[in-house]
Chains A and B, each alone.
Chain A
Amino acid sequence: MIALEDVTVRAGTFSLRGISLEIPKGHYGVLMGRTACGKTTILETLCGLKPARAGRILLDGRDATHLKAAERGIGYVPQDGALFSTMTVRRHLAFALEIRKAPQETIQARVAELAELLGIERILDRKPPGLSGGEQQRVALGRALSARPGILCLDEPLGCLDEETHDEVCELLKRVCREVAVTTLHVTHSMSEARKLADRIFRIENGTITRVTG
């Protein structure tokens, strides 16, 4: 479950006040809004990358307002993927588990499981510079899911893809998020994306969030 209660965040030169939204456990929420309206800032605040100036952030029932990003149990996929340029795809999928000092067998099993789920078995030993846009987003998604987070935050994950890849990754997101039953907040400006994926749609306009459907 993701819940923002009366949260205030600072987005560049302006502040967003009194932001509230709730996505029940296992649901797919989409937050829509125009460019530079503060969508990404809300997502970064949820992930613990920016501080909330007021209000509460609840993640799966626990107060995470003052938790560090590393302690929130959120998988984060930024718009450009932000893959680690010196690491192979295999290490991307293993990274969160290596940081948690998981046993080697567990890591190997998880990498194989994710590679199959995302259809990236053939590129496991490649590095990001040679990957296509769709492959990069699959790897970014796998990296975010590898430590089995309860929550997934996606910042315009389909924004940089061509039309064909866009539909393909959109289907993949829908399937994967259902299969792993993760609570998702997806930020986008595309209504068609929201209709395809969302259980619940929110719109941010003039600094306030309204629930559109779901």
Chain B
Amino acid sequence: MTASSLAPETASAAHRVRSDVPFVVCLCLLGSVYLLLIVAMLLADLSFTTVGSFLAALRSPEIRYAIRLSLISCSMTALLSLWIAVPIGYLMSRYSFRGKAIVDAALDIPIVLPPLVIGLSLLILFRTAAGRFVEWFIPVTYAVPGIILAQWMVACAFAVRTMRTTFDQISPRQEQVALTLGCSQSQAFWQIVLPQTRRGILAAGTLAWARALGEFGPILIFSGATRMRTEVMPTSVFLELSVGNIEAAVAVSLLMVIAAVAVLLLVRIFGQTEPLKANQV
């Protein structure tokens, strides 16, 4: 090869790049399969019910009770999850200690454990002396507090993950500056870090809420499926299906879809308005 054959003009003239269209088309085709399946699933649900049977299902006192209990228990679960997820997320993000990897793995256990196993484990826990002692004061097993506990066991793990990621994304440099300005660690946390986590807290709270809404396995094992007592929306779907009342099961399912979409929209709307506000100031 001679030096002249390496001249820039010759090299660029010889190099031809293939069209990007096939690549983008492949991406779109593969992505659309999943998206179409989601839409088809929801449309199938809609086609299976009529407005009349939907409203009839909503008039049933059992289903009304289940909706009310779901809304209350999910909101309690979301608040309790945040109460725990914020301190754990901050600790895991900012501090190094011996055994941190083990603690980190342990916090993921509720995410990877089969839901039924969580329910069974809770049931066994409340058969021990410590569990019976707690039940002496407040009934948990096969009662409403048990529903919240079963939902919280799983939902909190997701909230912890979200809060940890949120704190990881905030540079610890700002807290360090705050310390040199005269702050204690707690002042730096409350005044500098926490105000920046509003979006993360909203995301963690809604994720915990949505996760709790769909929780079924642990509730069935730990709290049972007694109508007008420990019946939440997924329990209603299960009970209606088991007696062959598919219209009512689909109606409750659609309500859960609407709640999930509403939560998703809420996160998107809040997620988009905050950075805009920051730029407008």
Say if the beta carbon of A68 comes within 8 Å of chain B: yes
Task: Quote the shortest CB–CB distance from B99 to chain A (angstroms).
Answer: 21
Tell which of A69, A100, A125, A143 touches B179, judged by Cβ atoms closer than 8 Å.
A69
Mark interface residues in B142-186 (1 if CB within 8 Å of A CB, else 0): 000000000000000000000000000001011011111111100
- In the complex, A144→B279 CA distance in Å? 24
Count contacts on B: residues with CB < 8 A to the other chain: 19
Q: A129-B279, A143-B177 are in contact. List 20 more A-B contacts (CB 8 A).
A: A49-B176, A70-B180, A70-B181, A72-B180, A76-B176, A78-B173, A78-B177, A80-B171, A82-B177, A84-B178, A84-B192, A88-B281, A95-B178, A95-B181, A96-B182, A99-B182, A126-B281, A130-B279, A144-B177, A147-B181
Given A84-B192, A86-B196, verify A100-B182 contact (CB < 8 Å): yes
Mark interface residues in A74-89 (1 if CB within 8 Å of B CB, else 0): 1110101011111010
Task: Quote the shortest CB–CB distance from A11 to chain B (angstroms).
Answer: 16
Say if the beta carbon of A127 comes within 8 Å of chain B: yes
Task: Quote the shortest CB–CB distance from A149 to chain B (angstroms).
Answer: 9
A–B Cβ pairs within 8 angstroms, 16 of them: A47-B180, A68-B179, A69-B180, A72-B180, A76-B176, A76-B180, A84-B192, A85-B196, A96-B182, A99-B187, A129-B279, A129-B281, A130-B279, A130-B281, A144-B177, A146-B181
Say if the beta carbon of A48 comes within 8 Å of chain B: yes
Pair A96/B176 contact, Cβ less than 8 Å: no
Tell which of B176, B183, B196 touches A78, judged by Cβ atoms closer than 8 Å.
B176
- In the complex, A147→B173 CA distance in Å? 19
Pair B174/A82 contact, Cβ less than 8 Å: yes
Cβ–Cβ < 8 Å partners of A100 in chain B: 182
Cβ–Cβ < 8 Å partners of B192 in chain A: 84
Cβ–Cβ < 8 Å partners of B184 in chain A: 70
Task: Quote the shortest CB–CB distance from A131 to chain B (angstroms).
Answer: 11
B interface, over-half SS? helix
Pair B180/A48 contact, Cβ less than 8 Å: yes
The residue of chain A having its C-beta at the shortest distance from the C-beta of B197 within the complex is A86
Task: Quote the shortest CB–CB distance from A179 to chain B (angstroms).
Answer: 21
- In the complex, A74→B278 CA distance in Å? 30
Of the listed residues B173, B179, B181, the one surrounded by the most CB atoms of chain A closer than 10 A to its CB is: B181
Cβ–Cβ < 8 Å partners of B178 in chain A: 84, 95
Nearest 3 pairs of A and B residues by beta carbon: A82-B173, A69-B179, A76-B180
Task: Quote the shortest CB–CB distance from B276 to chain A (angstroms).
Answer: 11
Cβ–Cβ < 8 Å partners of B182 in chain A: 70, 96, 99-100, 147
Task: Quote the shortest CB–CB distance from B64 to chain A (angstroms).
Answer: 42
Cβ–Cβ < 8 Å partners of B173 in chain A: 78, 80, 82
Task: Quote the shortest CB–CB distance from B119 to chain A (angstroms).
Answer: 41
The residue of chain A having its C-beta at the shortest distance from the C-beta of B277 within the complex is A127
The residue of chain B having its C-beta at the shortest distance from the C-beta of A75 within the complex is B180
Pair A127/B174 contact, Cβ less than 8 Å: no
Cβ–Cβ < 8 Å partners of A76 in chain B: 176-177, 180
Task: Quote the shortest CB–CB distance from B186 to chain A (angstroms).
Answer: 12
- In the complex, A88→B278 CA distance in Å? 10
Say if the beta carbon of B195 comes within 8 Å of chain A: yes
The residue of chain B having its C-beta at the shortest distance from the C-beta of A98 within the complex is B191
Given A85-B196, A126-B281, A130-B281, verify A70-B183 contact (CB < 8 Å): yes
Tell which of A69, A83, A129 touches B278, judged by Cβ atoms closer than 8 Å.
A129
Task: Quote the shortest CB–CB distance from B190 to chain A (angstroms).
Answer: 11
Task: Quote the shortest CB–CB distance from B191 to chain A (angstroms).
Answer: 8
- In the complex, A144→B187 CA distance in Å? 17
Mark interface residues in B6-17 (1 if CB within 8 Å of A CB, else 0): 000000000000
Cβ–Cβ < 8 Å partners of A85 in chain B: 174, 196, 278
- In the complex, A100→B183 CA distance in Å? 9
- In the complex, A99→B192 CA distance in Å? 12
Task: Quote the shortest CB–CB distance from B199 to chain A (angstroms).
Answer: 11
Cβ–Cβ < 8 Å partners of B177 in chain A: 76, 78, 82, 143-144
Cβ–Cβ < 8 Å partners of A130 in chain B: 279, 281
Mark interface residues in A96-124 (1 if CB within 8 Å of B CB, else 0): 10011000000000000000000000000
Cβ–Cβ < 8 Å partners of B180 in chain A: 47-49, 69-70, 72, 74-76, 144
